[in-house]
């Protein structure tokens, strides 16, 4: 087992200098609306921070009340560079960012390794940004935690949901789905398409197609799990690159969601 998966997109998607990165993440979090929620799961975007960092921060800011209780993060994102059938685990014991190392939940990785849809591949993870860009936010809002990283390729919603169920845990386990929304539509069109996608998610309606969200497969798996566990989705932020740092000719959509349980909308 290679010990550490090093950062691949530091200096591109987010700052490589630790102090600058910590400052930027804290600034995004400070500017986010402070929702009083107790999420079991989040959906957050994964573009460069100048484009989607503020929207991602809306999801992570919702963890404020429960952050001390979270000990494990199960992180799922779509593959962008290496095609794979199923859900890929890395052959590593830790992931690194400029903010430090995160230990992987090796025991949980072993517990799902025999599932037919699980593969082990360092190649899939080596350059994948969808998981990596979430890590500095997690490191900034949580205490000590372990990570279960899954890069999702060609898989069914049911295959994803089976893995989620196997590691569901209690309040110590948080699920994070990394996904952007529509890609390269004109601004006005994207707003319509992304609003429709968000309404589908809010009503736990799937399938969410890949044209709607690049992380559609893990979102669909989460929707199945949310129905089973009676989770309620909340839309925290919805914008696109035309609202943040890009032109409005061809935009990428971003949304932040928190999924809460029946009796855990707030911790009093």
Q: Which residues contact 143 (CB under 8 A, 6 or more apart)?
A: 67, 68, 70
Reported as a single tens digit per residue, the pLDDT across 86-143 is: 999 999 999 999 999 999 999 999 999 999 999 999 999 999 999 999 999 999 999 9
Domain contains 44? yes
Phi/psi of residue 101, nearest 5 degrees = -100, 150
Reported as a single tens digit per residue, the pLDDT across 209-238 is: 999 999 999 999 999 999 999 999 999 999
Here the tokens at position 264 are 């855990």
CATH classification at residue 37: 3.40.830.10
Q: What is the model's pTM?
A: 0.96
pLDDT band for 262, please (50, 70, 90 cuts): low
Domain contains 265? no
Domain contains 122? yes
Here the tokens at position 104 are 């992987």
Reported as a single tens digit per residue, the pLDDT across 13-71 is: 999 999 999 999 999 999 998 788 999 999 999 999 999 999 999 999 999 999 999 99
Q: Are 37 and 257 in contact (CB under 8 A)?
A: no
How many domains are contained in the chain? 1
Domain limits for position 166: 13-179+209-214
Reported as a single tens digit per residue, the pLDDT across 150-203 is: 999 999 999 999 999 999 999 999 999 999 999 999 999 999 999 999 999 999
Domain contains 33? yes
Q: Are 100 and 143 in contact (CB under 8 A)?
A: no
Q: Are 175 and 42 in contact (CB under 8 A)?
A: yes
Domain contains 31? yes
């Amino acid at each position: 087992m290679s010990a550490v998966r090093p950062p691949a997109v530091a200096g591109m998607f987010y700052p490589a200098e630790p102090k600058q990165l910590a400052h930027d993440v804290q600034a995004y979090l400070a500017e986010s609306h402070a929702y009083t929620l107790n999420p079991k799961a989040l959906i957050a975007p994964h573009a460069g921070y100048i484009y989607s960092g503020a929207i991602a921060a809306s999801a992570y800011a919702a963890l404020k009340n429960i952050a001390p209780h979270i000990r494990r993060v199960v992180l799922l994102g779509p593959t962008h560079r290496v095609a794979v059938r199923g859900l890929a685990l890395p052959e590593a014991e830790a992931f690194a960012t400029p903010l430090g190392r995160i230990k992987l939940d090796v025991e949980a990785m072993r517990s799902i390794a025999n599932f037919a849809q699980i593969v082990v591949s360092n190649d899939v993870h080596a350059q994948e940004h969808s998981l990596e860009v979430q890590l500095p936010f997690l490191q900034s809002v949580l205490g000590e935690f372990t990570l279960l990283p899954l890069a999702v390729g060609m898989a069914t919603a049911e295959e994803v949901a089976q893995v989620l169920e196997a590691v569901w845990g209690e309040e110590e386990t948080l699920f994070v789905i990394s996904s952007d929304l529509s890609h390269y539509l004109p601004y006005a069109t994207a707003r319509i398409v992304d609003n429709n996608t968000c309404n589908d998610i809010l009503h736990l309606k799937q399938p969410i197609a890949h044209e709607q969200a690049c992380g559609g497969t893990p979102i669909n798996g989460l929707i199945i799990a949310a129905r089973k566990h009676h989770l309620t989705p909340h839309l925290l932020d919805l914008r696109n690159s035309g609202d943040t740092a890009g032109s409005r000719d061809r935009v990428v959509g971003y949304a932040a969601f928190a999924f809460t349980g029946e009796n855990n909308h707030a911790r009093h």
